[in-house]
């Protein structure tokens, strides 16, 4: 069942030389009980897409066009009060910088209890009991005592767990996790992702995971959307993407991932840098870095075309890319 549908989403910000097009016609779906990973380099538009869905972009100055539907209900045209009500209750978000997202002058228990008392009308005692349950749910030992602690008294991984407890406190249908394992060591990353997967299994919520970590994607995602220069350039199941990418950018990302079964002296890196969103090149935005680029790529923007088995690719030469893996 489709939980979230994004159709032709466009987000632009004013710039000194004209609009900065951060998101350029993104269309995505998130199914209930499934994890969609949005993959791409920094600046590809992943977080702006999530913020537009969450309704936390100021518009103006941002200009947001397109459609965002939760269970068929259009969100972008809702009055501000209704949209704010949905944010947190039906859609929640875990931010990548937990220290910045948590208020340093209040205990973590106070912050969780405030959400429950304002949004659910709970008494102070009931909110405290529920806060203890939530902190225990995210596997923080001695939850009854730890809710009296301040954010700085927790490690980075523990603060991220507190953010997850806050996000699930109102039992949302959709959870957006924006780089939830940034700056965490590998062991803690695995623990955080395992926790999210466990909560998803128990609640049946949809999960939109924003990341540039291919290892995390391979481990937890069901579906993958690859973004570049504000556009979706490839979309498919996690098996399809990793077994045989259909876009040179995805091909480059996978080639740059360290592998234990490969003994390369030099780790591959995609040449060049992503384009300036205020000055996107003509044609395919990846053609300046693409080893397969032709004159057609430099002139004509490739559409996101349907491929067999329900996957999609925005490449004029997707058949050549697929053939290279066979």
The pLDDT value recorded for residue 263 is 66
pTM: 0.91
Per the domain annotation, does 165 fall within a domain? no
Token digits of residue 36: 């969609």
Does 82 map to a domain? yes
Distance CA 79, CA 268 (A): 48
pLDDT value of position 180: 85
Domain that holds residue 56: 2-98+173-324
The residue whose two tokens read 């009060």 is 81
CA nearest to 311, candidates 228, 214, 235:
235
Alpha carbons 287 and 273: distance in angstroms, whole number: 11
Give the pair of three-digit tokens for residue 156.
């980075």
**Would 161 be classed as within a structural domain?**
no
Residue 111 lies in a domain: no
Residues with Cβ within 8 Å of 237's Cβ and at least 6 positions away in sequence, in order, are 222, 223, 224, 310, 311
What total number of domains does the chain contain?
A: 1
Would you call 187 helix, strand, or coil by DSSP? helix
Residue 17 phi, psi (nearest 5): -115, 10
Q: Is residue 79 part of a domain?
A: yes
Q: Tens-of-pLDDT digits for all 326 residues of the chain?
A: 899 999 999 999 998 888 899 999 999 999 999 999 999 998 899 999 999 999 998 888 999 999 999 999 999 999 988 998 898 889 999 987 777 889 999 999 999 999 999 999 999 999 999 999 999 999 999 999 999 999 999 998 899 999 999 999 999 999 999 988 776 778 888 888 888 989 998 889 999 999 888 888 988 899 999 999 999 999 999 999 999 999 999 999 998 887 666 666 677 889 999 998 888 999 999 999 999 999 999 999 999 999 988 899 999 998 888 876 55
CATH of the domain at 215: 3.40.50.300
Tally the C-alpha atoms within 13 A of residue 94's C-alpha that lie toward its C-beta: 30
d(CA 29, CA 81): 25
Contact 241, 306 (CB under 8 A): no
290 found inside a domain: yes
| Measured distance CA(119)–CA(171) in Å, rounded | 12
How far, in Å, CA of 246 to CA of 228, rounded?
A: 14
302 burial via Cβ count (<10 Å: 0-12, 13-18, 19+): buried
Look at residue 59 in the predicted model and tell me its pLDDT. Answer: 81
Provide the pLDDT for residue 262: 65
What number of other Cβ atoms are within 10 A of residue 249's Cβ?
Answer: 29
* 83 domain-assigned: yes
114 in any annotated domain: no
Q: Which residues of 202-216 are buried (b: 16+ CB within 10 A; e: fewer)?
A: ebebbbbbbbbbbeb
Structure-token pair, residue 153: 């008294």
Q: Given CA atoms 19, 24, 28, 34 in this order, what sign does their dihedral have?
A: negative
Map residue 326 onto helix, strand or coil. coil
């Amino acid at each position: 069942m489709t939980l979230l549908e994004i159709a032709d989403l466009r987000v632009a910000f004013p710039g000194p030389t004209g609009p900065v097009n951060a998101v350029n016609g993104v269309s995505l779906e998130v199914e209930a009980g499934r994890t969609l990973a949005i993959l791409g380099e920094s600046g590809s538009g992943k977080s702006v897409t999530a913020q537009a869905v969450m309704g936390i972009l100021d518009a103006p100055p941002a200009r947001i066009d397109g459609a965002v539907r939760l269970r068929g209900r259009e969100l972008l045209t809702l009055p501000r009060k209704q949209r704010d009500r949905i944010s947190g209750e039906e859609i929640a978000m875990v931010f990548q910088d937990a220290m910045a997202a948590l208020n340093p002058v209040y205990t973590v228990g106070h912050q969780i209890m405030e959400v429950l008392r304002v949004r659910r009308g709970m008494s102070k005692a009931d909110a405290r009991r529920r806060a203890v349950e939530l902190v225990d749910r995210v596997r923080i030992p001695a939850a009854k005592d730890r809710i009296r602690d301040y954010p700085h008294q927790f490690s980075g991984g523990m603060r991220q767990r507190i953010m997850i407890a806050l996000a699930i406190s109102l039992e949302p249908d959709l959870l957006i996790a924006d780089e939830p394992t940034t700056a965490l060591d590998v062991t803690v990353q695995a623990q955080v992702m395992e926790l999210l997967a466990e909560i998803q299994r128990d609640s049946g919520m949809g999960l939109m995971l924003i990341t540039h970590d291919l290892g995390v994607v391979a481990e937890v995602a069901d579906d993958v959307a690859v973004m570049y220069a504000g556009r979706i350039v490839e979309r498919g199941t996690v098996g399809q993407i990793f077994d045989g990418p259909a876009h040179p950018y995805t091909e480059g990302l996978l080639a740059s991932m360290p592998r234990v079964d490969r003994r390369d002296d030099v780790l591959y890196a995609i040449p060049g840098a992503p384009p300036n969103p205020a000055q996107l090149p003509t044609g395919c935005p990846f053609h300046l870095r693409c080893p397969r680029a032709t004159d057609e790529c430099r002139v004509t923007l490739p559409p996101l075309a349907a491929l067999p088995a329900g996957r999609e690719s925005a490449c004029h030469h997707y058949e050549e890319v697929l053939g290279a893996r066979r």
